[in-house]
């Protein structure tokens, strides 16, 4: 089930579990531990984090699981992100949401992340958002320092447009291995704005956040979501009564850039269901029927 993220990067499971919601449901450590183990048993070995998730608490909870299971870290890959600064009681000096892509902040962010996670290294660290004040040369120095210290194995970005990606990548001695982007059957902008084209050009595999439209696909309220949901619902029957989730993920998995969807569910059955999408190969015309439903028009 492993797939190479990039010719230069680590091997991640094709489906990734995002942990931004583990603080939402007041789960105890045993419940979180069970979710992690079920994910691994289902074939997911990669987990997506960020310093800000759960109001700066998500990584602490995940770290407790790793502390309780000493050998678990060797079985998994961990992604984290940094440069967003939230207004939070955990950050009393912040009075406005902003970005900080300075070397000092990013190195400090990684050090805090490693401490929270009870680990010595990250498999992948991403710049979380494009920063209008970003200094590409300082990013280069930062990544080299983190790499040389053995604290981060690989680097990427998140939500960067192609020209933004190219600016950073052109200054680095360590090539970026991915761009984490928003893309789903409800959000096809990455097909038109050059993000996915760039991934193909550079032979990097994108990570897809909100691959089910933030839950809107499964519980649609907008006209677009209802139309796409109805289109997919018809296809579930054609493919032996698979779930809407499986069809929506298979739609992403069919793209030649080898998209890695990051699912956000903490429901064990839904995790298993999502992994089952790997077995589903959508017919070409079925793929385009969903694309047309999402865009509201047939292709030119």
Q: Name the active-site residue from 53, 56, 99, 291.
A: 53
Rounded to whole angstroms, the Cα distance separating 209 from 232 reads: 20
Torsion from C-alpha of 64, 65, 66, 71, nearest 10 degrees: 140
In the block, which residue shows the tokens 């990734």? 16
The verdict on whether 56 is a catalytic residue reads no
CA atoms within 13 A on the CB side of 93: 1
Please give the structure tokens belonging to residue 77. 């890959």
Rounded to whole angstroms, the Cα distance separating 23 from 39 reads: 18
Rounded to whole angstroms, the Cα distance separating 65 from 68 reads: 5
Taken in order 205, 206, 207, 211, is the CA torsion positive or negative? negative
Q: Which positions are annotated as active-site residues?
A: 53
């Amino acid at each position: 089930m492993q797939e190479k993220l990039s010719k230069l990067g680590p091997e991640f499971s094709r489906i990734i579990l995002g942990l931004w919601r583990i603080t939402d449901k007041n789960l105890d450590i045993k419940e979180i531990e069970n979710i992690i183990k079920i994910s691994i048993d289902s074939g997911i070995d990669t987990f997506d984090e960020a310093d800000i998730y759960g109001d700066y608490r998500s990584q602490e909870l995940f770290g407790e699981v790793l502390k309780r299971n000493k050998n678990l870290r060797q079985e998994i890959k961990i992604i984290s992100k940094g440069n967003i600064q939230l207004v939070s009681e955990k950050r009393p000096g912040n009075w406005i949401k902003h970005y900080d892509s300075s070397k000092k902040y990013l190195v400090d962010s990684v050090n805090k992340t490693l401490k929270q996670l009870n680990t010595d290294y990250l498999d992948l660290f991403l710049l979380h958002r494009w920063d209008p004040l970003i200094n590409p040369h300082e990013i280069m120095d930062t990544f080299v320092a983190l790499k040389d210290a053995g604290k981060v194995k690989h680097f990427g970005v998140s939500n960067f447009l192609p020209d933004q990606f190219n600016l950073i990548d052109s200054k680095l001695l360590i090539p970026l291995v991915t761009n984490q982007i928003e893309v789903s059957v409800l959000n096809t902008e990455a097909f038109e704005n050059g993000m996915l084209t760039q991934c193909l050009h550079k032979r990097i595999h994108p990570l897809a956040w909100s691959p089910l439209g933030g839950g809107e696909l499964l519980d649609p309220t907008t006209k677009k979501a209802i139309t796409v949901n109805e289109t997919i619902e018809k296809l579930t029957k054609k493919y032996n009564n698979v779930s809407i989730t499986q069809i929506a993920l298979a739609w992403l998995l069919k793209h030649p850039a080898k998209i890695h969807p990051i699912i956000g569910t903490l429901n064990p059955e839904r995790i298993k269901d999502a992994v089952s999408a790997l077995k589903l190969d959508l017919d070409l015309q079925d793929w385009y029927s969903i694309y047309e439903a999402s865009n509201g028009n047939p292709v030119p």
